[in-house]
């Protein structure tokens, strides 16, 4: 029963969030400018062309009516047709999703284990050379702007050495009805640099969290008891410390994963990676409102779902959460 209440509360929150987001997004994109000037060729269009286009796109209606029409369409499962590409906005967004998804997944699959491991090892013996190196490196990795990091990786990895391509997605192959680059050689090669760009700051973030957690846990009574009981340091680290520091790490992985899905804009732009982030920024620039709204809605849903997953994981990982919800 309690679970149902929690779930219902959660759902209504998510619903309100989506509504607020759609309103803000709608008004925001409306106030930037008039999309008609991007739809018609402004260098040749006659005032009559502009008038007809305005009517064709429904932009002659007052903004509140446009919003109501939009909400009505969304409820009916339709985000409208892209002004620029003349394709269904939601389909267009979905077609860009595999690119972003595999980029974010690869980046996180690199960042999460590597960051956790570095933090564990560094935090176990604070003050050693390794610890100080991890700390220093993580500070710089976090303070480097991602566009600069991306450029440096292109410079070293593509232009100077020629090992990796400088951009694009490479060859893709169909799997489960979508095109993926991870399963082709050329595609994986193209994926390397952008994934690394996304992974590096996350490695640093996770390493710092895991390091400070390790230091804290290693000084707690139960680790001392473990040590006194004669457990090997490795066993203590993996079986006792790691589960205890995993809560913030799981949280940050969830949040960062959402952020990568939504806002890998800079990296996707520099590497010409045709993902959702690039679609969003292109569409904002072209004032392609249906696509912007479809993408924003997807992002909001993704964050809500990821947060729910993170909470679920907490319950799995931490017995205290499980106990408190049973009470």
Partner 1 sequence: MKLGPSFRLLLSTLMISIGLSGASSMQAQAQEPKGLRIATSYKLMTLDPHYANLNENTSLLSHIYERLVYQDERLELKPGLAVSWRALSDTQWEFKLRDNVRFHDGSPFTANDVIYTIERIRDVLKTPSGGFKSYVSGIKSVTAPDPLTIVVETNGKVPTLPLSFSSLFVMRRPSQGFQTTEQLNADVPPLGTGPYRFESWSSGENLKLSRNDHYWGPKPAWADVTFRVIENPSARVAALSTGEVDVADAIPARDVAGLKQRGARIASIGAARINFVQFDVARDTLPGVTATSGEAIANPFKNPLVRRALSHGLDRGILVDKILAGYGTAASQVFPAGLPGTSENLQPREPDYEEAKALLAKAGFPDGFNLTLAGPAGRYPGDAESLQAIAQSWARIGVIAQPAAAPFSVFNTKRAAGEYAVWYGGTSGEAVDIILHTLLASPDLARGTGALNFGKYRNEAFDKKLAEAEGIAVGSERNAGLAEATELVMADQPIIPLYHFHHIVGFGPRVGSYVMHPRGWTTAMQTLTATEN
Choosing from 66, 73, 94, 168, the residue that interacts with partner 1 (CB under 8 A) is: 168
Footprint on residues 240-279 left by partner 1 (CB under 8 A): 265-266, 269-272, 274, 278-279
Q: Does 155 bind partner 1 (CB under 8 A)?
A: yes
Distance of CA 63 to the CA centre of its chain: 31
Question: For partner 1, which residue of 85, 144, 255, 317 counts as binding (CB under 8 A)?
Answer: 85
Q: Please, are residues 57 and 39 in contact by the beta-carbon 8 Å criterion? A: yes
In whole angstroms, what is the distance from residue 132 CA to residue 137 CA? 8
Please, what is the minimum distance in Å from the beta carbon of residue 314 to partner 1?
Answer: 36
Site membership for partner 1, residue 33 (CB under 8 A) = yes
Which region among 7-15, 30-38, 113-121, 127-135 touches partner 1 (by CB under 8 A)? 30-38
State which of residues 4, 43, 129, 228 lies at the interface with partner 1 (CB under 8 A).
43
Given 26, 57, 211, 276, the residue binding partner 1 (CB under 8 A) = 57
Maximum C-alpha span of the chain: 86
Residue 70 as a binder of partner 1 (CB under 8 A): the answer is no
Minimal distance in Å, beta carbon 168 to partner 1?
6
Our CB check for partner 1 shows the closer of 69 and 316 to be 69
Nearest-5° angle of CA 265, CA 267, CA 270?
A: 105
C-alpha 204/C-alpha 72 separation (Å) is 44
With helix as H, strand as E and coil as C, how does 163-207 read? CCCCCCCCCCEEECCEEECCCCHHHHHHHHHHHHHHHHHHHHHHH
Q: What is the DSSP string of 242-266?
A: HHHHHHHHHHHHHHHHHHHHHHTHH
Stretch that binds partner 1, among 67-75, 113-121, 151-159, 191-199 (CB under 8 A): 151-159
Sign of CA dihedral 262, 268, 272, 275: negative
307 binds partner 1 (CB under 8 A): no
Distance CA 104, CA 86 (A): 28
Give, in order, the Cα–Cα distances in Å from 192 to each of 140, 153, 181, 273: 21, 10, 11, 12
- 147 interacts with partner 1 by CB under 8 A: yes
Provide, rounded to whole angstroms, the least separation between the CB of residue 111 and partner 1.
23
The correct pick among 20, 24, 27, 42 for binding partner 1 (CB under 8 A) is 42
Q: Give the binding site for partner 1 (CB under 8 A).
A: 32-49, 52-53, 56-57, 83-87, 92, 95-96, 147, 151, 154-155, 158-160, 162-163, 165-169, 179, 265-266, 269-272, 274, 278-279, 281-282, 285-287
């Amino acid at each position: 029963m309690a679970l149902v209440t929690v779930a219902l509360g959660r759902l209504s929150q998510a619903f309100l969030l989506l509504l607020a987001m759609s309103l803000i997004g709608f008004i925001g994109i409306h106030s930037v400018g008039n999309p008609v000037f991007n739809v018609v060729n402004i260098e040749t269009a006659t005032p009559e062309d502009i008038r007809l286009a305005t009517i064709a796109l429904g932009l002659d209606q007052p903004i509140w009516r446009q919003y109501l029409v939009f909400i009505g369409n969304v409820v009916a499962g339709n985000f409208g047709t892209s002004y620029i590409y003349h394709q269904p906005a939601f389909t267009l967004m979905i077609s860009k999703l595999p690119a972003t998804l595999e980029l974010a997944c690869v980046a996180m699959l690199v960042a999460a284990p590597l960051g956790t491991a570095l933090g564990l090892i560094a935090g176990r013996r604070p003050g050693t050379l390794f610890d100080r190196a991890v700390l220093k490196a993580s500070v710089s990795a976090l303070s480097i702007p991602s566009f600069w990091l991306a450029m440096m990786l292109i410079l070293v990895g593509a232009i100077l050495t020629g090992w990796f391509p400088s951009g694009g997605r490479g060859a893709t192959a169909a799997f489960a009805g979508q095109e993926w680059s991870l399963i082709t050689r050329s595609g994986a090669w193209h994926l390397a640099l952008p994934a690394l760009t996304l992974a590096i700051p996350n490695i640093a973030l996770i390493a710092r969290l895991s390091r400070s957690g390790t230091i804290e846990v290693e000084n707690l009574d139960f680790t001392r008891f473990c040590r006194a009981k004669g457990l090997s340091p490795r066993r203590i680290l993996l079986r006792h410390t790691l589960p205890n520091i995993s809560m913030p790490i799981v949280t940050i992985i969830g949040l960062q994963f959402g952020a990568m899905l939504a806002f890998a804009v800079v990296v996707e732009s520099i590497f010409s990676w045709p993902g959702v982030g690039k679609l969003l920024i292109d569409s904002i620039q072209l004032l392609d409102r249906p696509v912007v709204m479809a993408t924003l809605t997807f992002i909001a849903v993704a964050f809500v779902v990821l947060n729910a997953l993170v909470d679920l994981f907490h319950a799995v990982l931490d017995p205290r959460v499980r106990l408190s919800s049973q009470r």
